Amino acid sequence: MAATAIDTAARREKSRWAGLGLSERQAWSLLFVAPYVAIFIGFVLFPVGYSFWLARSPQLYVELAADPIFLRTVINTFVFLVVAINVKMALALFLSGFFTHKRWWVKVLAVLFVLPWAVPSIPTILSVRFMLNPEWGVINQLIFSLTAEDGPNWLNDPALALTLSMLVHIWKSLPFWTLILLAGRLAIPGELYEAASVDGAGAWHRFRYITWPSMSTLYVTCTLLSMIFTVGDFNSVYLLTGGGPADLTHVLATLGIRYLRLDQVGLAMASIVCALPLILPLVYFMMRRLSR
Amino acid sequence: MSPRKFLRTVGFESGLLLIGIPVLLWTLIPIYHMFLFAISPKDAAFSGQLWPTSPTLRNFGTVVGQKHHFLNHFWLQMFNSVIISVGTAAITLFVATAAAFAISRLRMKGGRTVMNLALLTYFIPAAFLAVPMYKTMGMYGLLNNDWALVLAMATIASPYAIWILRQASDKLPVELDEAAMIDGASPFQLFRLIYLPLMVPSLIAVGTYALLLAWNEYLYAFLLLSKDTAITLPVALGNFLSADDSPWELLMTAGFLYALPPAAIYYAFRRYMSSGLTAGAVKG
Q: How does pLDDT run across A80-125, given as a tens digit for each residue?
A: 999 999 999 999 999 999 999 888 999 999 999 999 988 999 999 9
Q: Name chain A contacts of B128, Cβ cutoff 8 Å.
A: 231-232, 252-253, 256, 272, 275, 279
How far apart, in Å, are the Cα atoms of B189 and each of A97, A160, A217?
Answer: 47, 60, 41
Instruction: Answer whether B114 sits within 8 Å of A36, measured CB to CB.
Output: yes
| CATH code of the domain in which B235 resides | 1.10.3720.10
Domains in chain A: boundaries: 1-54, 66-290
For residue B268, the enclosing domain spans 72-282
Q: Tens digits of per-residue pLDDT, A184-202?
A: 888 888 888 888 888 888 8
The pTM score is 0.88
Partner residue opposite B135 with nearest CB, options A17, A50, A176: A50
Let me know whether B80 and B98 are in one domain.
Answer: yes
d(CA B279, CA B276): 6
Q: What is the distance in angstroms between the Cα of A189 and the nearest Cα belonging to chain B?
A: 17
Of B64, B82, B98, which marks where a domain is finished?
Answer: B64
CB B249 within 8 A of CB B182: no
Quickly state the pLDDT bin for B18 (edges 50, 70, 90). very high
Q: How many domains does chain B have?
A: 2
Q: What is the distance in angstroms between the Cα of B153 and the nearest Cα belonging to chain A?
A: 10
Instruction: Answer whether A36 sits within 8 Å of B96, measured CB to CB.
Output: yes
CB B169 within 8 A of CB B100: yes
Quickly state the pLDDT bin for B278 (edges 50, 70, 90). low
Burial of A276 (0-12, 13-18, 19+ CB in 10 A): exposed
Partner residue opposite A136 with nearest CB, options B23, B46, B128: B46
- State the architecture of A66-290 in CATH terms: Orthogonal Bundle (1.10)
Q: What is the distance in angstroms between the Cα of A177 and the nearest Cα belonging to chain B?
A: 9
Q: What is the distance in angstroms between the Cα of B212 and the nearest Cα belonging to chain A?
A: 8
Partner residue opposite B30 with nearest CB, options A101, A171, A234: A171
Let me know whether B11 and B49 are in one domain.
Answer: yes
Q: If you average pLDDT over residues B119-126, what whole number do you get?
A: 88
**pLDDT value of residue A125:** 93
Q: Name chain B contacts of A282, Cβ cutoff 8 Å.
A: 123
Let me know whether B60 and B158 are in one domain.
Answer: no
Let me know whether B88 and B191 are in one domain.
Answer: yes
Q: If you average pLDDT over residues A45-67, what whole number do you get?
A: 90
- Greatest alpha-carbon pair distance for chain A in Å reads 86
**Burial annotation A152-181 (CB, 10 A radius, 16+ → b, else e):** eebbeebebbbbbbbbbbbbbbbbbbbbbb
Of B36, B64, B92, which marks where a domain is finished?
Answer: B64
Instruction: Answer whether B255 sits within 8 Å of A126, measured CB to CB.
Output: yes
Partner residue opposite A234 with nearest CB, options B24, B98, B219: B219
Q: Name chain A contacts of B28, Cβ cutoff 8 Å.
A: 112, 115
Let me know whether B57 and B89 are in one domain.
Answer: no
Q: Name chain A contacts of B236, Cβ cutoff 8 Å.
A: none
Q: Which helix (H) or strand (E) element contains residue B223?
A: helix B219-224
**pLDDT value of residue B275:** 60
Q: If you average pLDDT over residues B249-274, what whole number do you get?
A: 87
Let me know whether B109 and B228 are in one domain.
Answer: yes
Let me know whether B134 and B272 are in one domain.
Answer: yes
Of B64, B87, B117, which marks where a domain is finished?
Answer: B64
CA nearest A141 in B: which residue?
Answer: B48
Partner residue opposite A123 with nearest CB, options B95, B139, B258: B258
Quickly state the pLDDT bin for B283 (edges 50, 70, 90). very low
Instruction: Answer whether A234 sits within 8 Å of B152, measured CB to CB.
Output: no
Let me know whether B114 and B48 are in one domain.
Answer: no
Instruction: Answer whether A32 sits within 8 Å of B215, measured CB to CB.
Output: no
**pLDDT value of residue B284:** 34
Q: What is the distance in angstroms between the Cα of B200 and the nearest Cα belonging to chain A?
A: 18
Instruction: Answer whether B215 sits within 8 Å of A120, measured CB to CB.
Output: yes
CA nearest A94 in B: which residue?
Answer: B19
Instruction: Answer whether B131 sits within 8 Å of A287, measured CB to CB.
Output: no
Let me know whether B82 and B46 are in one domain.
Answer: no
Instruction: Answer whether B108 sits within 8 Å of A29, measured CB to CB.
Output: yes
Instruction: Answer whether A98 sits within 8 Å of B94, measured CB to CB.
Output: no
Partner residue opposite A43 with nearest CB, options B151, B182, B266: B151
Q: If you average pLDDT over residues A241-263, what whole number do you get?
A: 88
Instruction: Answer whether A116 sits within 8 Å of B27, measured CB to CB.
Output: yes
Checking phi first, is residue B168 left (phi over 0); if not, alpha (psi -120 to 50) or beta? alpha
Instruction: Answer whether A265 sits within 8 Å of B24, measured CB to CB.
Output: no
Let me know whether B199 and B257 are in one domain.
Answer: yes
Let me know whether B26 and B76 are in one domain.
Answer: no
Instruction: Answer whether A112 sits within 8 Å of B119, measured CB to CB.
Output: no
> Does B153 contact A at CB distance below 8 Å?
no
d(CA B69, CA B74): 10
CB A92 within 8 A of CB A178: yes
Q: Tens digits of per-residue pLDDT, A260-273?
A: 888 888 899 999 88
**Secondary structure letter of residue B50 according to DSSP:** S
CB B279 within 8 A of CB A136: no
Let me know whether B181 and B230 are in one domain.
Answer: yes
**pLDDT value of residue B182:** 85
